Amino acid sequence: MDSELTELITPHTGRITDVSPVAEGSDYSTTAVVTGQQGRVFLKAVPDRPGGVLAEVEREGQINPHLNGLAPPLLWQARRAGWFALGFEVIEGRAADFDPGSPDLPRVVQALDQIAALPVPEVARSWVETRWDRALPGETVKVVRGNHLTHADLHPRNILIDRNDRVWVVDWAWPTVASALVAPTCLAVQLVSSGHDAAEVEKLLAASTLWGQLDLDALAVFARADAMMNRHYAKIRPTQEWRKALADAAQRWADHWTA
Ligand SMILES: Nc1ncnc2c1ncn2[C@@H]1O[C@H](COP(=O)(O)OP(=O)(O)O)[C@@H](O)[C@H]1O
Ligand SMILES: [Mg+2]
């Protein structure tokens, strides 16, 4: 690990004896389980430089105390010598299994209800979701506006199941305030991408409390906008194969609501 980063976090961890990088982490941040004299922490660190990822990790630190135990608790944050770092409690767990027939699915759907039930804290009030705006012309943009704190990256590795079978939602790097449609749509697309038919996904999601509160016409409009955005990202980042798979899944989900 970078020596300045080591120096920055050592006052929190104690003398470091092991750093195990997390293979699932993105390329933009340093993620690792760090063992020090004070125990183990999950570290997420980024260069302290204005631009996309710093703002994401800053938000992750700000939202953590408001997630009602859905995310691992943030133990400390540190900023100096060109780094911004967060230290979280380590979850001993595994990624959720999104495959058809997986016993994890009902719990993943429950997590959706837990996300939907989170109040919007003061700190998040200005974090209006705008990432879909350009795919929602004119009046249609109202389908994404709302008053729900949301997580838009609900892929299997961001939902951990620990040894006691507790479900944790990690990676709150870009929480926003949006309509209740955003989280279920993002989860639906991930489920389709994991091999479910859109109709099966509808059935799974219909078991949530949230589902009954959704406006299905708005859901169809948002599904089409989401397919458009996914297609756009797949096109501008053609080397990232997973984006193409996600774009196909988003299209299948949108088609299900248009048929
Ligand atoms: N508190 C934690 N304890 C253990 N593992 C974690 C913890 N938080 C995240 N992870 C694991 O590390 C991976 C990367 O962390 P994440 O917050 O998703 O960062 P990234 O922004 O790099 O995707 C997650 O997919 C998950 O497998
Ligand atoms: Mg992640």
Q: Identify the sign of the CA torsion 81, 86, 92, 97.
A: negative
87 burial class (0-12, 13-18, 19+ CB within 10 angstroms)?
Answer: buried
pLDDT tens per residue across span 20-51? 999 776 778 899 999 999 999 999 999 999 98
Judge if 35 and 120 occupy the same domain. Answer: no
Radius of gyration of the chain (CA): 19
Question: Which of 32, 93, 86, 89 lies closest to 58, judged by CA?
Answer: 86
Cβ(17) – ligand 1 distance below 6 Å: no
> Which of 88, 120, 153 marks a domain boundary?
88
> Which residues constitute the domain of residue 77?
3-88
Q: Which ligand is nearest to the CA of 23?
A: 1
Judge if 109 and 78 occupy the same domain. Answer: no
Instruction: Work out which ligand 1 atom sits closest to the CA atom of 22.
Output: 12
Between 26 and 78, residue with greater pLDDT:
78
Start-to-end Cα distance in the chain: 52
| CATH number of 49's domain | 3.30.200.20
> Which of 56, 88, 120 marks a domain boundary?
88
Q: How many domains does the chain have?
A: 2
Q: Which residue, by CA, sits nearest to atom 9 of ligand 1?
A: 170
Q: How remote is the CA of residue 212 from the centroid of ligand 1, in Å?
A: 31
- Average pLDDT, integer, range 90-99: 97
| CATH number of 123's domain | 1.10.510.10
pLDDT tens per residue across span 140-157? 999 999 999 999 999 999
Cβ(90) – ligand 1 distance below 6 Å: yes
Judge if 54 and 105 occupy the same domain. Answer: no
Judge if 228 and 201 occupy the same domain. Answer: yes
Percent of the chain residues topping a pLDDT of 70: 100
Judge if 34 and 64 occupy the same domain. Answer: yes
Structural contact between residues 8 and 81, judged by C-beta atoms closer than 8 angstroms: yes
pLDDT tens per residue across span 194-247? 999 999 999 999 999 999 999 999 999 999 999 999 999 999 999 999 999 999
Q: Which residue, by CA, sits nearest to atom 19 of ligand 1?
A: 25
pLDDT tens per residue across span 144-191? 999 999 999 999 999 999 999 999 999 999 999 999 999 999 999 999
